[in-house]
Amino acid sequence: MNEDYTDDITQATVAEFLRRLDRGRVALDAVIEPLSERQLTTPDPIALWSVKDHLAHLAVWANGMTALLKREPRYPAMGVDVATAQANEMDQLNDMFYRQHKDRPLGEVRAFFDQSHRDIRAAVAALDDADLQRTYSYFQPDEPGKDDGTPIVAYLVGNSFGHYEEHTPWINKTLERIG
């Protein structure tokens, strides 16, 4: 998740966010759609993740945001309980998510990724523009932790199209390394 992509969208409308989300998905699809099964499933010899693993990772984080927007527990939607999420740093969580999904068949991961995109899109579409400016605790009032006042749109970017943009160079590097 990278929230550095939010500077020009923190005041976005739902319609603008959805346009950016769709463009981000089209850009990522342009990278992954032409790939063979071997290219999608061969692990990077250095970073260890395959392209498939990146897609599962992106889906997990998008699912967390979808649950958050629906005011459902975020971390269980990602595959961990709240206590585990709070006891671990992001890299440790990402490793847990990797281990949960690395042995899943490619078709399952593709379907998981596609569904996560549809779900986050539908959850955002159900919001009004003002909701994008609400904070994390508005959507997750019972989750312990501090709310720094950041609008939820920043988290949404970091867990959707901004996250796609963050992973695209890593995916390209994996493809370069596996040949």
Instruction: Say whether pLDDT at 80 is over 50.
Output: yes
pTM: 0.93
One DSSP character per residue, 6-46 reads: GTTTTT--HHHHHHHHHHHHHHHHHHHTT--HHHHHSPPTT
How many whole angstroms separate alpha carbon 145 and alpha carbon 16? 30
Encode pLDDT of 102-118 as tens digits.
999 999 999 999 999 99
pLDDT average, residue stretch 85-91: 93
Instruction: Say whether pLDDT at 2 is over 70.
Output: no
Supply the Cα-derived Rg of the chain in whole angstroms.
16
C-alpha distances out from residue 178 to 63, 107, 171, Å: 29, 21, 11
Counts for the chain of helices (H) and strands (E), in that order = 10, 0
The CATH class of the 3-178 domain is: mainly alpha
Encode pLDDT of 117-130 as tens digits.
999 999 999 999 99
Q: Is 165 exposed, middle or buried (0-12, 13-18, 19+ CB in 10 A)?
A: middle
Instruction: Please report, for the chain, the start and end positions of each structural domain, with discontinuous segments joined by +.
Output: 3-178
